[in-house]
Every structure is written in structure tokens, then in C-alpha cells.
Structure 1
Amino acid sequence: MDTRTQILSIASDLLQRQTVNGFSLQDVADRVGIRKASLFHHYRNKEALVADVLENSLNGFRRRMEGMRNQPAQRQLEAFLDIYQRHIGAGSRLCSVSGVTGDWDHLGEEPRRWALALLHEQCGWLAHIAELGGYARNTEEADAWAEQVMVRIQGAMLLSRVQSTPLPLERTIAQLRAECLETGTMG
């Protein structure tokens, strides 16, 4: 793995475990095994690094979901939920967007833009699933459905993190699955 990729991977992990103000460039340099000054060959400041982490998260989300585009709605929803349950690591980590929201008012324009893009992409994908799966009758309902799924998932991730257990997220995902399978709707 090249140095830039290592920097991004470590910064992403720190962002998800400690949030944006919970780590420093020195923390990243120490974990990569380079001097802090060497980070500036790759990133002009922490804000640029965080923006790149968020952009990388967005691109990773797009790659995962693009491969699912022709699948049934339930399978797409399972892939979406799997990102939170298995790839992020409920109980020990937050998603990248949650890693910056606590400091939103002090966050620079570039990281904000990428965080919003990632959030909008996720909500857009969920709205697509709602329309495809018949969980909503129109675009407005699909958007509301997507918003509610995000609220429930993000809230469960926060509870899981604070309680240091994946149980709140696991219960929320189980309930979402049951609602979709049993009634064909969520709400």
C-alpha cells in the first residue's frame, strides 16, 4: 500500500473512531510511521485530509451500490444495511459523516461539501430502493422513507458507539428488515 493510501486509511479509521476533532495530523503520521512534515507532501492541512477521506467514502459507497443497481429492492436494501452493520463496525465506529457532524459549525467548506454529498447519495439510493420496492407511492414518500431509514440507522449507530455495543444497530436493522418483509413498507 502506498503512503497516500495508508494516510487515507488511517485518517478514515481515526475519523470514524474519534471524530474530526479527536485526532491530529501527528496521530496520523505516528500510525503511518512517517514524520508529520511528510504529511504535507500529500495534504496541505487536516481539512484537506478530512475532505479526501469523505470523498473516498463517497466513491466507495458508489462502487458498492453501483454493482447492486440491477438487483431487487430487498437485496439492494440488504447491501445498504450491510455497510453499516459489517463494514463500519457498530459499537466501535461511526460512519464518516457522523465523524464530522459534531463539529459541523467549525468544519471547513470542502469537508462539509463532501459530507453532504455522501449523505445525499445515501438518501438518494434509499429513495431509489423505496420506489423500486414499492415502499413508497411517489417521490415525496420515497424521500421521506429514505430520510426515516437514515435517521434510524444513524441514531442506532450513535447509541451503539456510546454504549460500546452493536446491539442498538443490530436491533434497528432487524426491525427494518421485518418491516420490509412483512408489510412491504417501513414507517
Structure 2
Amino acid sequence: METKAQALEIAKNHLQLRGYNGFSFQDIADELGIRKASLHYYFASKEDLGLALIEDYIQSFQQWSEMHEDREPLEKIKKFIDMYNSFSQDGLKVCPGGVFCIDYNTLPAKLKKSVCQLQEQIQNWLTHVVTEGIKNKSLKTTLKPKETATLIHATTQGALQIGRMQNNTKAMKATSLALLTLLQK
């Protein structure tokens, strides 16, 4: 794996375990076994690294959502829950969007904008899926799609954080599936 790709993978791990403000270029350089100055060859600043991380997450979510586009709405939501659960199963990591939201007030402006694009992408996808579920009557028809999408998103992100604090890898999935049961017709 090339150095830039390795640096991104290391940064993802640090981000989801420690937060954006919880790691430095030096941490990544040390893990790669290179000088910090060498890392600047690939990323001019930590902000540039953060932007590359978010771009990678946006592309990954796009590919993931395309892979599941032919599924029924409830199955899509369950797959979404499974995706978030995989973070919990991987060392009690928090989802990328959730981590950036925690550090949001300390992020540079360009990074804030990029974080909002990631969250908007997920929110729009969930809103579309909930709308499909209401139309095919697999979800309660009294639901408002946008608010329900926010509820699903907030529950998955929040349950990851609570599970981490409780050292409970099962909390996220159990909580999210309980919510889904309440939303079903």
C-alpha cells in the first residue's frame, strides 16, 4: 500500500477512536515510520488530511448506498444499522460523521463545510429510504420522512457513543433495531 493510502487508513483509525483533535501528524508519521515532514508531501496540513478523509468517507458511502439500492426500504435501514454496528465491533469506534460533529466547533471552515456535505449525503439517503418505506407501507404512514431520517441517524450515532462509554459492543445495534421496530407498520 502506498504511503498516502496508509496515512489515510491510520488517520481513519485515530479519528474514529480519538477524534479529530486527538491525533497529530506526528502520530501518523510515527506509525508509518517516516518523518513528519515527509507526511507533508502528501498532505500540506492536517486540514488537508481531514478533507481527504471526508472525501473518502463520502465516496465510500456513495458506493455502499449504490450496492444496496435494489433492497427494500426496511432492509436498507437494517444494512445502515449493520454498517454503523461494524464501527462498534471494531474497537468501539465512533462513526466518522459523529466524530467530526463532536469536534465541529474547533474545525477550520473548509472542513466544517465538508463535514456538512457528508452529513447531508447520509441524511438525504435516509430521507429517501424512509419516503420509500412510507410509500410501500413498510413504515408507519404518519411519519415525516426528514424528521424520521434524522431520528434514525441520531440514534445510530448516539448509540455508538453510549456503547463506547459502557464498553458495550451490542448497545448500538440493539438500540437502533428497537427504534426500527417502533417505526414499522
Per the TM superposition, whether the score is higher than 0.5 is: yes
Match of 1:108 in 2: 108
Please, which of 167, 172, 177 is the counterpart of residue 169 of structure 1?
Answer: 172
| From 158, 161, 166, the counterpart of 2:161 | 158
Aligned length: 181
Match of 2:146 in 1: 143
Offset of 1:111 from its aligned partner?
Answer: 1.6
Distance 1:174 1:144 in 2: 18
AA matched with 2:89: G
* CA distance in structure 2 between the partners assigned to 1:104 and 1:73 by the alignment: 31
Distance in 2 (alpha carbons) for counterparts of 1:102 and 1:75: 29
SS at match of 1:98: helix
After TM superposition, give the deviation of residue 87 of structure 1 in Å.
4.4
Q: Confirm or deny: 8 A CA contact 2:88 2:164 kept in the other structure.
A: no
Q: 1:174 to 1:52 in 2, by over 3 A?
A: same
Matched residue type, 1:8: L
Describe the superposition over 1:43-66 as per-residue Cα deviations: whole angstroms up to 9, x where unpaired: 011111011111111110110001
Q: d(CA) in 2 for partners of 1:87 and 1:162?
A: 14
Q: Deviations over 1:7-37 (max 9, x none)?
A: 1111011000000111110001111221111
| 5+ residue gaps, structure 2 | none
Aligned residue in 2 for 1:179 = 182
Contact 1:97 1:115 in 2 (8 A): yes
What is the CA distance between 1:84 and its match in structure 2?
Answer: 0.3
Tell me the equivalent position of 1:99: 99
Query: Where does structure 1 lack aligned partners over 5 or more consecutive residues?
Result: none
The runs of at least 4 aligned residues of structure 1 exceeding 6 Å deviation read: none
Task: Please tell me the root mean square deviation across aligned C-alpha atoms, in Å.
Answer: 1.9
Aligned-partner Cα distance in 2 for 1:34–1:88: 30
Q: Is 1:90–1:161's contact at 8 Å kept on the other side of the alignment? A: no
Shift of 1:90: 6.6
Q: Which moved more, 1:127-136 or 1:145-154?
A: 127-136
Q: Distance in 1 between matches of 2:140 and 2:51?
A: 34
Q: TM-score, normalised by structure 2?
A: 0.89
Question: How far apart in 2 are the matches of 1:86 and 1:67?
Answer: 17
Residue 60 (structure 2) aligns with: 60
